[in-house]
Amino acid sequence: MTRILFVCHGNICRSPMAEFVLRDMCARAGLAAQFDIASAATSSEELGTPVYPPARRKLAEHGIGSYEELVERCDAVSAASIRTRESLRDAEQRIADLALLGKQIDTYRKLKPVYDRYKASKDKEKFLRGFESEIILFEAAAREIKKAGLTKLPSSEKLKTELDGLAARKTSLQTELRKVQREEKEYDTLRKNVVALLEKSKEQEWQQHRGNDLE
């Protein structure tokens, strides 16, 4: 794991802003688990001082008590989005695999009598010349069924039941993903607002220090 520490004078504006932005970038890239990101101060002058008040009020509007809580919520929403996307992808892949397997099973059952006749024929070469495409299709279907680990062919009803269940799960996951995406958008807007306020705080702090230097 790579550790990254942002520092500024009081750790109430610049460094926490940088920490949050990088955390958000890593989460969106799916790299959150590879980085330990934190912020700290170089001085104890601001120890105990909360984040810039306007930024704190903006967080409070969303029921968030602190900058750290905002980071935690953003991380949680991002993780939920990743999990939901992965689950949806797995469900869609399983549906595709099962649909293809169903076709292979249908082909197997349809051509099994032809293949049995081929195996029982005394002149296999002659039989093959007349039913070559059927034999090729049957053997290909048999390989796919074996690859799927099936020792017994499932009934059409069983396959349909599983496909119906997967379709229902896919619909549920799509609904969940839309909800999570809305939350992601809301938190992204909140993040941008907080970052803008922190940037404003940084500018005011710079102007204040500049004024003090001129005095």
Domains of the chain, residue spans: 1-49, 51-214
pLDDT value for 137: 96
Q: Is 187 exposed, middle or buried (0-12, 13-18, 19+ CB in 10 A)?
A: buried
d(C-alpha 132, C-alpha 139), whole Å? 11
Which spans in the chain are helix H? 14-28, 53-61, 67-120, 124-147, 156-214
On the question of pLDDT at 172 being above 70, the answer is: yes
pLDDT value for 189: 76
Confidence of residue 123 (pLDDT cuts 50, 70, 90): very high
Confidence of residue 183 (pLDDT cuts 50, 70, 90): confident
Tens of pLDDT, residues 1-37:
888 888 877 666 667 767 777 776 777 677 877 888 8
How many other C-beta atoms lie within 10 A of the C-beta of residue 132? 11
Which residue did the predictor score with more confidence, 53 or 142? 142
d(C-alpha 102, C-alpha 161), whole Å? 12
Please state the φ and ψ torsions of residue 5, each to the nearest 5 degrees. Answer: -120, 120
Residues 6+ apart with CB under 8 A from 88: 170, 173, 174, 177
On the question of pLDDT at 215 being above 80, the answer is: no
Which residue did the predictor score with more confidence, 211 or 88? 88
The mean pLDDT of the chain is 81
pLDDT value for 130: 93
End-to-end CA distance of the chain: 47
Q: Considering the chain, what percentage of its residues have pLDDT values greater than 90?
A: 43
pLDDT value for 48: 52
At residue 33, the 3 state secondary structure works out as: helix
On the question of pLDDT at 214 being above 50, the answer is: no
Which region among 69-78, 148-157, 168-177, 200-209 has the lowest average model confidence (pLDDT)? 200-209
Q: For 11, which DSSP code? A: S
For domain 51-214, the CATH class is mainly alpha
Confidence of residue 199 (pLDDT cuts 50, 70, 90): low
Please state the φ and ψ torsions of residue 111, each to the nearest 5 degrees. Answer: -100, 0
Tens of pLDDT, residues 82-120:
999 999 999 999 999 999 999 999 999 999 999 999 999
pLDDT value for 42: 81
pLDDT value for 51: 54
